[in-house]
């Protein structure tokens, strides 16, 4: 029974398959001929006026029925119709093949034609493939070839059906067994892929349908594997970018719990690991950060917050936050944290510098202006007073000159424009030169300057004049800030490939809170004492930048009342 039904169904299937195949072959041929016909019609300057003769000629050449139809469905020419027939024929815009051709470029349909009293296959194509307004050319042939092919194959089909019934009883279970095993194998492969083992594949041999299904399954597994690899690559790239950023980055879910955080975030906030899946306040005890993220989740626009972190070294963090929207819903927030502590410090230094330089310039200028006005208003008539005033004006002018020269010198060093010529330099010669420059001031204050340089002290790789400038600044400070009768020592020792030059005094010393700022421009431990001694407040800043420009470092150690030691370390020559 099953074999008979199968044979009957197979006969129907084969009959239909023959019909479809033959019809498809004829339709494909007609499509090619329709395009050729369209090219020929398109090449005619006025094909609408001569559409009927052209249709007749094409019909004779191709052996088919040719119909030329404009974009509105009006029949302009037809192989089987004369002028009176054309006028009487109905509008073809509603014909399926014509509508499909106008819409998508080509169309086909099969139906019974009352005009020729036969089943026909219609294939239509645009005259201009890019312009549907030029109309459609339609080719039609009777389906007699299809019917003949069906009739020719009917007898073999019936014979095969009878034979299949005879052998089906013995071979049916064998035939069914192999596909079942193949399907079971494909099912196992599909289950493996679903479980994440994307390397599982199904065998592609055997029957066409099962092989096609196996290939489809394997192609799906290949695409899934490629997509997973691409997703993993993109995730790795994103992680690399995030970990390479100086700014801290955090991505949260709608509840504020952390989904992703980079290393910079953990470093800035000293966050406790792991951070994923926890609230920011649980990883880093910074309530301001938690409040900022909660505010971002409820805000429609991006937010900016400034977060101050306490501790031994206070930090200032600038946070830029924004909610992540999807389909009108907030699905999380992203926050970027930038450490602006150094920027804030530089801004503070800039403000102080402007205030200091203004004050430093205003003081001598005010003095010069006051004494000059006094001289102008009659002071010149008293020679002694005039001479004294001129001396004061000269002293303040010299202070202005020194201040401006120091500012220009410092600016050129900071901008890398100072001329630095590195070469082997004798430390003993430079120390002797610096001691000679400051000897007179030291003698005036009854200071004792001693030089202690080791016998095997090598030369240094430096600029001789710049190194002398550094040591003169350090010795000048030691002379100024050491009470009368003090001791100043210059020493030099060999290090590991470097030379350390130390300038030590037993002066007033520097308070611990000022140690970190003494190399800033115009910074004074005692706000008036350096100005009282004639300094510009730029000496140590210039010494620091010159030392760094020569590839060295400068350090300071000091205790109030016990003196100060400056150490200049430079590469050995």
If asked whether residues 32 and 113 sit together in one domain, one would say yes
Q: What is the mean pLDDT of residues 401-428?
A: 74
If asked whether residues 432 and 395 sit together in one domain, one would say no
What's the confidence (pLDDT) of residue 571? 92
d(CA 417, CA 12): 95
What's the confidence (pLDDT) of residue 568? 93
- H/E segment holding residue 302: none
Is 436 a member of any domain? yes
Any idea what the CATH number is for the domain that residue 351 is in? 1.10.287.130
Give SS3 for 171: helix
Higher-pLDDT residue of 170, 361 = 361
Any idea what the CATH number is for the domain that residue 492 is in? 3.30.565.10
Q: What is the mean pLDDT of residues 517-534?
A: 59
Which tokens in the block code for residue 213? 């299904």
Which tokens in the block code for residue 89? 């024929």
d(CA 153, CA 21): 13
If asked whether residues 435 and 562 sit together in one domain, one would say yes
If asked whether residues 321 and 429 sit together in one domain, one would say no
Lowest mean pLDDT among 35-44, 328-337, 411-420: 411-420
Round the average pLDDT of the chain to a whole number and report it: 81
Q: Is the pLDDT of residue 419 over 50?
A: yes
Where among 301, 333, 365 does a domain terminate?
333
Any idea what the CATH number is for the domain that residue 316 is in? 3.30.450.20
Q: Is the pLDDT of residue 528 over 50?
A: no
Residue 358 exposure: Cα atoms within 13 Å on the Cβ side = 6
Is 451 a member of any domain? yes
Percentage of the chain exceeding pLDDT 70: 84
Residue in the structure block whose two tokens are 């203004």: 358
Q: Domain range for residue 390?
A: 343-414
Is 229 a member of any domain? no
Q: What is the mean pLDDT of residues 504-530?
A: 73
If asked whether residues 319 and 357 sit together in one domain, one would say no
pLDDT 10s digits, 86-112: 888 888 888 999 899 889 989 999 888
- Asked if 524 and 467 count as a contact pair (C-beta separation under 8 A), the reply is no
- 269: CB partners within 8 A, 6+ apart: 248, 283, 284, 286, 289, 309, 337
If asked whether residues 389 and 522 sit together in one domain, one would say no
User: If pLDDT is split at 50, 70 and 90, which confidence band does 559 have?
Assistant: confident
If asked whether residues 278 and 304 sit together in one domain, one would say yes
Is 45 a member of any domain? yes
Q: What is the mean pLDDT of residues 130-158?
A: 78
Higher-pLDDT residue of 500, 394 = 500
Where among 98, 119, 142 does a domain terminate?
142
Is 400 a member of any domain? yes
d(CA 22, CA 16): 10
What's the confidence (pLDDT) of residue 498? 92
If asked whether residues 563 and 489 sit together in one domain, one would say yes
Is 536 a member of any domain? yes
Give SS3 for 415: coil
If asked whether residues 473 and 382 sit together in one domain, one would say no
pLDDT 10s digits, 468-496: 888 988 998 899 888 999 999 999 998 88
Q: What is the mean pLDDT of residues 318-331?
A: 89
Best CA proximity match to 77, nearest among 118, 109, 120, 48: 48
Higher-pLDDT residue of 179, 510 = 510
What's the confidence (pLDDT) of residue 312? 62
- Asked if 107 and 100 count as a contact pair (C-beta separation under 8 A), the reply is yes
Higher-pLDDT residue of 399, 328 = 328
Give SS3 for 273: coil
Best CA proximity match to 303, nearest among 293, 311, 313, 312: 293
- Asked if 506 and 562 count as a contact pair (C-beta separation under 8 A), the reply is yes
Name the packing angle between helices 341-376 and 383-414 (round to 10°): 160
Is 381 a member of any domain? yes
What's the confidence (pLDDT) of residue 529? 47
Per 3-state DSSP, the chain is made up of helix, strand and coil in percentages (nearest 5) of 55, 20, 25
Which tokens in the block code for residue 312? 């031994």
What's the CA angle centered on 385, arms 383 and 391, to 5 degrees?
Answer: 100
What's the confidence (pLDDT) of residue 8? 62
Q: Is the dihedral of CA 171, 176, 182, 184 positive or negative?
A: negative
Q: What is the mean pLDDT of residues 284-299?
A: 88
Q: Is the pLDDT of residue 359 over 70?
A: no
If asked whether residues 476 and 518 sit together in one domain, one would say yes
What's the confidence (pLDDT) of residue 260? 87
- 223: CB partners within 8 A, 6+ apart: none
What's the confidence (pLDDT) of residue 400? 76
d(CA 308, CA 320): 14
Q: What is the mean pLDDT of residues 139-166?
A: 73
Alpha helical stretches, state H, 377-501: 383-414, 427-444, 464-480
pTM: 0.41
What's the confidence (pLDDT) of residue 178? 67
pLDDT 10s digits, 446-467: 999 999 988 889 999 998 888 9
If asked whether residues 316 and 379 sit together in one domain, one would say no
User: If pLDDT is split at 50, 70 and 90, which confidence band does 171 have?
Assistant: low
Higher-pLDDT residue of 21, 402 = 21
Beta bridge partners of 217: none
Is 156 a member of any domain? no
If asked whether residues 296 and 371 sit together in one domain, one would say no
Number of domains making up the chain:
4
Most confident of 205-214, 344-353, 550-559: 550-559
DSSP state of 482: S
What's the confidence (pLDDT) of residue 194? 76
Ramachandran quadrant class, 205 (left: phi over 0; alpha: psi -120 to 50; beta: rest): beta
Q: Is the pLDDT of residue 392 over 50?
A: yes
Where among 91, 120, 142 does a domain terminate?
142
d(CA 217, CA 182): 12
How many CB atoms neighbour CB 157 within 10 A? Answer: 19
User: If pLDDT is split at 50, 70 and 90, which confidence band does 123 have?
Assistant: very high
């Amino acid at each position: 029974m099953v074999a008979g039904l199968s044979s009957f169904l197979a006969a129907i299937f084969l009959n239909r398959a023959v019909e479809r195949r033959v019809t498809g072959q004829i339709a494909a041929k007609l499509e090619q001929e329709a395009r050729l016909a369209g090219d020929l019609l398109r090449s005619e300057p006025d094909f609408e006026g001569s559409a009927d003769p052209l249709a007749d000629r094409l019909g004779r050449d191709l052996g088919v029925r040719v119909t030329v139809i404009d974009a509105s469905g009006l029949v302009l020419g037809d192989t089987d119709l004369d002028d009176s027939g054309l006028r009487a024929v109905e509008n073809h815009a509603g014909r399926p093949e014509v509508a499909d051709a106008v819409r998508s470029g080509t169309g086909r349909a099969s139906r019974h034609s009352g005009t020729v009293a036969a089943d026909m296959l219609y294939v239509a194509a645009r005259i201009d493939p890019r312009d549907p307004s030029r109309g459609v050319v339609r080719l039609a042939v009777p389906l007699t070839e299809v019917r003949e092919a069906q009739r020719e194959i009917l007898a073999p089909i019936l014979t095969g059906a009878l034979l299949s019934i005879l052998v089906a009883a013995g071979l049916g279970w064998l035939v069914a067994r192999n596909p079942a095993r193949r399907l079971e194998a494909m099912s196992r492969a599909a289950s493996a892929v679903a479980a994440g083992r994307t390397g599982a594949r199904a065998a592609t041999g055997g029957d066409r349908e099962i092989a096609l299904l196996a290939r489809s399954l394997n192609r799906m597994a290949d695409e899934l594997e490629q997509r997973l690899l691409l997703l993993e690559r993109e995730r790795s790239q994103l992680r690399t970018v995030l970990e390479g950023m100086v700014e801290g980055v955090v991505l949260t879910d709608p509840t504020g719990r952390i989904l992703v955080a980079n290393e910079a975030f953990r470093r800035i906030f000293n966050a406790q690991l792991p951070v994923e899946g926890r609230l920011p306040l649980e990883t880093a005890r910074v309530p301001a950060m938690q409040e900022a993220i909660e505010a971002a989740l409820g805000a429609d626009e991006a937010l900016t917050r400034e977060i101050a972190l306490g501790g031994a070294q206070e930090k200032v963090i600038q946070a830029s936050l924004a909610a992540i929207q999807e389909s009108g819903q907030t699905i999380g927030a992203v926050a970027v944290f930038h450490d602006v502590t150094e920027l804030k410090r530089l801004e503070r230094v800039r403000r102080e510098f402007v205030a200091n330089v203004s004050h430093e310039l205003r003081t001598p200028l005010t003095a010069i202006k006051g004494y000059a006005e006094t001289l102008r208003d009659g002071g010149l008539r008293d020679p002694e007073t005039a001479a004294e005033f001129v001396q004061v004006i000269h002293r303040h002018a010299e202070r202005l000159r020194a201040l401006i020269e120091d500012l220009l010198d410092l600016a050129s060093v900071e901008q890398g424009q100072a001329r630095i010529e590195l070469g082997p330099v004798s430390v003993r010669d430079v120390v002797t030169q610096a001691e000679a420059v400051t000897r007179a001031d030291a003698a005036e204050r009854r200071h004792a300057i001693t030089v202690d340089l080791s016998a095997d002290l090598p030369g240094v790789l430096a600029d001789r004049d710049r190194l002398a400038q550094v040591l003169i600044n350090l010795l000048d400070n030691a002379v100024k800030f050491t009470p009368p009768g003090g001791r100043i020592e210059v020493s030099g020792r060999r290090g590991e490939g470097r030379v350390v030059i130390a300038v030590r005094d037993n002066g007033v010393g520097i308070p611990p809170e000022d140690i970190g700022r003494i190399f800033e421009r115009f910074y004074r431990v005692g706000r008036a004492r350096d100005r009282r001694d004639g300094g510009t407040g730029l000496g140590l800043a210039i010494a620091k930048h010159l030392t760094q420009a020569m590839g060295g470092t400068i350090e300071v150690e000091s205790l109030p009342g016990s003196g100060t030691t400056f150490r200049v370390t430079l590469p050995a020559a």
